[in-house]
C-alpha cells in the first residue's frame, strides 16, 4: 500500500513538472537538420513570441510555424540573410515593421498564411528571388497597395491569396512569370476580367468557392481557354450568356496594352537570358583558347630550352690575345670540352 501511494505521488509531481515546463526541455528546442543539402532549423510549435536570435546565421530553411509571434520587427531576420524558405504560418502576426524582409535577398518562398495581417508587406514584391508567396487566410479586406512600386522586382510564379475576404483581385502590376494564382474562397463581388491582363503567363487560376458572377465566370473561362491554360478550378458557368449581355472584352485583356507589356517583359527576360548564355559561352571559349595558347607557348619555350642545353658552349680562343687579330677579323672560338 505504501509503495502504491509513493508511485501515485511521483506521478502527480511529474505531471505538475511537465505542465510547468520543468521537464523534457530538450524536446522544446529548435531542431537542426538537412533537407536537400540545405540547413534547416525547425522551431515548430514552441510557443515562441518572437523570432529567436540565437540560431545559426547560415540557416537556409527556417520553420517558425504554429507559434505565438504577434509582431515581426525590422531586426527579426537581420542575422539570417541566407534564408531561402521561411515558414510563418499559423502564428498571430498582426503587424510587420518596414524593412523586416529587406535583408532576405536569397528568399525564394515565404508562407504567411493563417495570421492576422490586414495588408501584404510591400517589400516582399521587391525581393529579387521570391518565387512563391502564401498570404492566404488573412484579413485583407481593406488591402491598400497604393505604395507598391511597379513594376515589381520579385519573379513570382505562384501566388496564394485564398480566403482573404477580397472583393476583387488586387492590382499587383505586371507579373510576367506568374503561372498559378489561387484566389479561391473570396467573395470577388467586383471581379473584372481586365485584371487578368497582368498575368500573360497564367496557366492555372483557382476561383472555387467564390461568388463570381455568371458573366465573370464566362469571361474567365474564355480568357483561360484563349491562353491555353487549365480551366479546371474555374466555377462551372450554369448558362451561356449572350455576347450583348456579357461581352468578351479581349480588346481590353489579351489585346490590351497591359497584356502586350507583360509579353514584352517576358521576351526581354528571355532575350536577356539568351545574351547572358551567349556571353558565358563566348567567355568560356576565350578562356579555353587562352589556356591552349598558354600551354602552346610554354611547351615551345621548354623545347627551345632543351635545344639550347644540347648545344656545346663556345669560349673565346686564347689565340685572339696572342696573335692580336685586326679589328675586322672575326674572333676565334673553341668548343668547350665536357
Q: Of 163, 153, 154, nearest to 133 (Cα)?
A: 154
Q: How many domains are there within the chain?
A: 1
User: Looking at the domain assignment, is residue 294 inside a domain?
Assistant: no
Q: Are 171 and 198 in contact (CB under 8 A)?
A: yes
pLDDT of residue 311: 59
Q: Of 84, 78, 79, nearest to 63 (Cα)?
A: 84
CATH assignment of the domain containing 166: 3.80.10.10
Average pLDDT over residues 219-227: 86
User: Looking at the domain assignment, is residue 36 inside a domain?
Assistant: yes
User: Looking at the domain assignment, is residue 289 inside a domain?
Assistant: no
User: Looking at the domain assignment, is residue 156 inside a domain?
Assistant: yes
Domain residues for the domain of 156 are 23-268
> Measured between alpha carbons, how far is 237 from 281 in angstroms, rounded to an integer?
51
SS3 240: coil
Q: Which residues contact 42 (CB under 8 A, 6 or more apart)?
A: 30, 31, 32, 33, 63
Whether the predicted pLDDT of 303 surpasses 80: no
User: Looking at the domain assignment, is residue 79 inside a domain?
Assistant: yes
User: Looking at the domain assignment, is residue 163 inside a domain?
Assistant: yes
Cell 551567349 found at: 278
What is the β-pairing status of strands 38-42 and 31-35? antiparallel
User: Looking at the domain assignment, is residue 338 inside a domain?
Assistant: no
pLDDT of residue 55: 97
pLDDT in tens, 102-147: 999 999 999 999 999 999 999 999 999 999 999 999 999 888 898 9
User: Looking at the domain assignment, is residue 75 inside a domain?
Assistant: yes
- As a residue count, the chain comes to 338
Q: Between 273 and 261, whose confidence is greater?
A: 261
pLDDT of residue 327: 57
Whole-model pTM over 0.95: no
Whether the predicted pLDDT of 318 surpasses 80: no
Amino acid at each position: 500500500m505504501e509503495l502504491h501511494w509513493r508511485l501515485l505521488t511521483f506521478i502527480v509531481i511529474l505531471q505538475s513538472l511537465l505542465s510547468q515546463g520543468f521537464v523534457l526541455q530538450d524536446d522544446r528546442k529548435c531542431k537542426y537538420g538537412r533537407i536537400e543539402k540545405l540547413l534547416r532549423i525547425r522551431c515548430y510549435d514552441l510557443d515562441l513570441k518572437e523570432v529567436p536570435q540565437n540560431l545559426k546565421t547560415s540557416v537556409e530553411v527556417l520553420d517558425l510555424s504554429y507559434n505565438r509571434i504577434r509582431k515581426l520587427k525590422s531586426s527579426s531576420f537581420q542575422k539570417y540573410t541566407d534564408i531561402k524558405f521561411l515558414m510563418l504560418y499559423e502564428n498571430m502576426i498582426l503587424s510587420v515593421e518596414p524593412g523586416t524582409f529587406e535583408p532576405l535577398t536569397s528568399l525564394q518562398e515565404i508562407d504567411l498564411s493563417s495570421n492576422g495581417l490586414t495588408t501584404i508587406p510591400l517589400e516582399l514584391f521587391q525581393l529579387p528571388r521570391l518565387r512563391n508567396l502564401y498570404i492566404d487566410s488573412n484579413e485583407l479586406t481593406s488591402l491598400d497597395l497604393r505604395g507598391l512600386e511597379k513594376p515589381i522586382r520579385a519573379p513570382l510564379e505562384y501566388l496564394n491569396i485564398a480566403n482573404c475576404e477580397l472583393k476583387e483581385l488586387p492590382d499587383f502590376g505586371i507579373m510576367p512569370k506568374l503561372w498559378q494564382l489561387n484566389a479561391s474562397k473570396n467573395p470577388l463581388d467586383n471581379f473584372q476580367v481586365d485584371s487578368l491582363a497582368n498575368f500573360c503567363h497564367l496557366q492555372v487560376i483557382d476561383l472555387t468557392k467564390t461568388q463570381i458572377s455568371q458573366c465573370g465566370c464566362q469571361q474567365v473561362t474564355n480568357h483561360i481557354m484563349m491562353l491555353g491554360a487549365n480551366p479546371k478550378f474555374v466555377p462551372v458557368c450554369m448558362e451561356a450568356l449572350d455576347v450583348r449581355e456579357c461581352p468578351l472584352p479581349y480588346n481590353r485583356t489579351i489585346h490590351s496594352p497591359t497584356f502586350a507589356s507583360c509579353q514584352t517583359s517576358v521576351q526581354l527576360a528571355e532575350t536577356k537570358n539568351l545574351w547572358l548564355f551567349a556571353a558565358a559561352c563566348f567567355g568560356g571559349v576565350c578562356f579555353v583558347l587562352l589556356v591552349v595558347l598558354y600551354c602552346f607557348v610554354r611547351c615551345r619555350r621548354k623545347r627551345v630550352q632543351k635545344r639550347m642545353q644540347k648545344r656545346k658552349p663556345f669560349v673565346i680562343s686564347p689565340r685572339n690575345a696572342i696573335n692580336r687579330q685586326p679589328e675586322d677579323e672575326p674572333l676565334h672560338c673553341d668548343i668547350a670540352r665536357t
